[in-house]
Amino acid sequence: MIEVKDVRKKFGTQEVLKGISAIFESGKNNLIIGKSGSGKTVLLKCIVGLLTPTSGHVYFDEQDYVAMKIEEKNEIRRKLGMLFQGGALFDSLTVEQNVRFPLDMFTKMSLSDKSDRVNEVLKRVNLMNTNSKFPSQLSGGMQKRTGIARAIVMNPKYLFCDEPNSGLDPQTSIVIDELIMEITEEYNITTITNTHDMNSVIANGDKIIFLHEGNKHWEGDKVSLFQSDNQELIDFIFASDFLKEARDARHNKLIAKIPK
C-alpha cells in the first residue's frame, strides 16, 4: 500500500500540488486522472522520488519515503517498477539486455537463470523472439511491452505507469491496459497509473483519483464515476457530445430499470 499525505509541490512561486492525500491499495490498479497541467505527472514523480515534495509525506507500507536517506530510498526503489511514457529503453541495448539490466545490476543470479527469467517475463508480455532486437526496431506497443517486462523482471511490489497508452492505437492500448491489470492482480502489486485515456479509466479504474489544478477533486471507482455530480470530472470524462449522450443513455436505462 502507498499513502500520500498532504503532498505539496512548488516550482518557484507556482504551487503545482496543493496538499494531495490519498491511499493507493495493493492488488488494485489505482488511476490518477486529470487534464494536462493538473499535476498528475508531478504527483507520480513525487511518489517515486524523482521529485521531492515541498511538504508532506509519501509512505510505502508505512515507511516514510521522503524522510529516507538515499541508500534507504535505493532499497525501496529496487522494489519499484516503472513504465515510462516513451518506454525509456536503453538505445544501445537489445530487448533481452534491457530486460536483464536490473538483474545484472542488482542480483548475483547465474547467466542461465537470468536468461530464463528474462524469457519468462518476455513470454508474459507476449514478446517472444524479439530478444536480439534493438528498441529502434520495435513498434510503439512492443516498446511499451518491453518496458513492462523490464519493470516486472525483479518482481516489484509497486508498479508505476506514466501514461501507458500515449501514442498507441486504441486496440494496442487495450492490450497494454489488460496486461497491466493482469500483472497487478497476478502478483498482487500496488499499481499507480497516470492516464487520460478514457477507455482505461472506464475499464480498469479500481480506484480513481481526479486532480484538478493541483487539488484532489474527486475520488472513487469506475462505477461511481457515472454517478458523480462533480462538474469538473463530468466535463473531463465526458468531454465530447458523443460521450455525454452515451452517459445520459446509460443513466436513463438505469432509471428505467428502477421499479415504480
Partner 1 sequence: MAEYIHASGGPLFHIGRYVLMIKRCFVKPERAIMYWKETLVQMSNIGVGSVVIILLISFFIGAVSAVQFAYNLSASMVPMEFVGLIVKESMILELAPTVSCLILAGKIGSNLASELGTMRLTEQIDALEIMGVNTISYLIGPKLAAAITMIPLLVIIAACTGIYGGMLAGSLSGYVSSSDYLQGVLMSFVPYNITVMMVKSIVFGFVLTSVSCYQGFYSHGSAIEIGKASTRAVVLSCVMVLFADLILTWLLLK
Site for partner 1, rule CB under 8 A: 11, 45, 48-52, 73-78, 80, 82, 84-86, 88-91, 101-102, 104-106, 160
Comparison of 58 and 225: residue with beta carbon closer to partner 1: 58
Smallest gap from residue 128 Cβ to partner 1 (A):
23
Smallest gap from residue 184 Cβ to partner 1 (A):
18
Comparison of 18 and 45: residue with beta carbon closer to partner 1: 45
Smallest gap from residue 188 Cβ to partner 1 (A):
20
Comparison of 51 and 234: residue with beta carbon closer to partner 1: 51
- Cell numbers for 142: 512492443
CA 214/CA 125 separation, integer angstroms? 34
Smallest gap from residue 104 Cβ to partner 1 (A):
6
Comparison of 76 and 202: residue with beta carbon closer to partner 1: 76
Smallest gap from residue 160 Cβ to partner 1 (A):
8
Comparison of 71 and 229: residue with beta carbon closer to partner 1: 71
